[in-house]
């Protein structure tokens, strides 16, 4: 186990209280992810000053997994993560359930390079082939059988991704109505957006009825409290239906 062995053991105990049972291999990967993020944060400011500690990053890892309380992902489910940035929630989700097929989209190149490094450090994918993707400046498209990182805006994703994904995830990217409009073309009929929200959830959800008239779907909000961390989390779930726009 890493230099954070005792902290990771405490993480394992805490996670078990929430129903997340980590293997030693998963625990080690959470530690490597946090270490890599702290190292890169010194240059690129990937997380806030308040979050720039091993303990706080581990807290965010568990927070990222709350969707497993509400969603059962089938093997090889196709997921889209919008504005992947520092890797939350996609990297913890991928560590916890490695058989997911995940596409991480991030428009800022330095963050894309960070995500690439994390994936390499954690061996979350097979060796990639570098492809050109959509020609646009410094666009990077790293493909593999289970995970890829794209340096572009989500609205510039290739046509082949239309109606492709089973789920989309987003955390601290934009209000839920904006995220829904962004991911809508890429979700299958029946595909679901999973948006992590905090105190502003109610304010954002009030805008959804009008948006759902044009981008039809079924809205549901789930709430969970993580008392160990004094966190109340909302997951806004929007399921795309098959009505024509």
For residue 226, report the phi and psi dihedrals to the nearest 5 degrees.
Answer: -110, 85
Residues with Cβ within 8 Å of 98's Cβ and at least 6 positions away in sequence, in order, are: 124, 146
Each residue of 112-126: pLDDT tens digit? 999 999 999 998 754
Q: Report the SS3 class of residue 162.
A: coil
Enclosing H/E stretch for 106:
strand 101-106
For the segment 172-188, the average pLDDT, to the nearest whole number, is 97
For the segment 53-78, the average pLDDT, to the nearest whole number, is 91
196 compared with 42, residue with greater pLDDT: 196
pTM over 0.85: yes
Give percent above pLDDT 90 in the chain: 64
Instruction: Give the separation between CA 145 and CA 112, rounded to whole angstroms.
Output: 18
Quote the tokens at residue 99.
């058989």
User: Where do the domains of the chain lie, and which CATH numbers do they carry?
Assistant: 64-240 (3.40.50.150)
pLDDT of residue 141: 46
- The answer to whether 240 touches 163, Cβ cutoff 8 Å, is no
Q: Above 50 in pLDDT, residue 236?
A: yes
Residue 107, Cβ density class (10 Å: 0-12 exposed, 13-18 middle, ≥19 buried): middle
Start-to-end Cα distance in the chain: 52
Which residue reads 């009929």 in tokens? 189
Least trusted range by pLDDT, from 106-120, 176-190, 222-236: 222-236
Which residue reads 């829904």 in tokens? 180
Q: Above 80 in pLDDT, residue 14?
A: yes
CA distances to 38, 41, 118, 151 from 48, in Å: 11, 9, 19, 22
pLDDT of residue 125: 58
For the segment 177-198, the average pLDDT, to the nearest whole number, is 97
Q: Above 70 in pLDDT, residue 137?
A: no
30 compared with 1, residue with greater pLDDT: 30
């Amino acid at each position: 186990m890493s230099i954070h062995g005792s902290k990771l053991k405490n993480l394992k105990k805490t996670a078990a209280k929430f129903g997340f049972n980590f293997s030693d291999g998963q625990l080690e990967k959470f530690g490597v992810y946090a270490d890599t993020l702290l190292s890169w944060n010194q240059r690129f400011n990937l997380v806030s000053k308040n979050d720039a500690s091993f303990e706080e990053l581990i807290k965010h890892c568990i927070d990222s997994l709350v969707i497993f309380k509400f969603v059962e992902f089938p093997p090889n489910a196709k997921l889209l993560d919008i504005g992947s940035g520092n890797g939350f929630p996609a990297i913890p989700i991928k560590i916890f359930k490695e058989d997911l097929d995940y596409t991480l989209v991030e428009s800022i190149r330095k963050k894309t390079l960070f995500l690439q490094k994390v994936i390499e450090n954690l061996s979350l994918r097979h060796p990639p082939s570098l492809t050109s993707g959509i020609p646009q400046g410094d666009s990077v498209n790293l493909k593999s059988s289970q995970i890829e990182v794209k340096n572009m805006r989500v609205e510039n994703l290739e046509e082949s991704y239309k109606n492709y994904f089973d789920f989309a995830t987003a955390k601290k990217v934009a209000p839920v109505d904006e995220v829904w409009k962004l991911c809508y073309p890429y979700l299958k009929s029946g595909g679901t957006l999973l948006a992590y929200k905090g105190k502003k959830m109610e304010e954002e959800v009030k805008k959804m009825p009008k948006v759902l008239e044009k981008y039809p779907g079924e809205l549901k909000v789930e709430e969970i409290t993580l008392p160990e961390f004094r966190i109340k989390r909302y997951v806004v779930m929007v399921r795309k239906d098959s009505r024509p726009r």
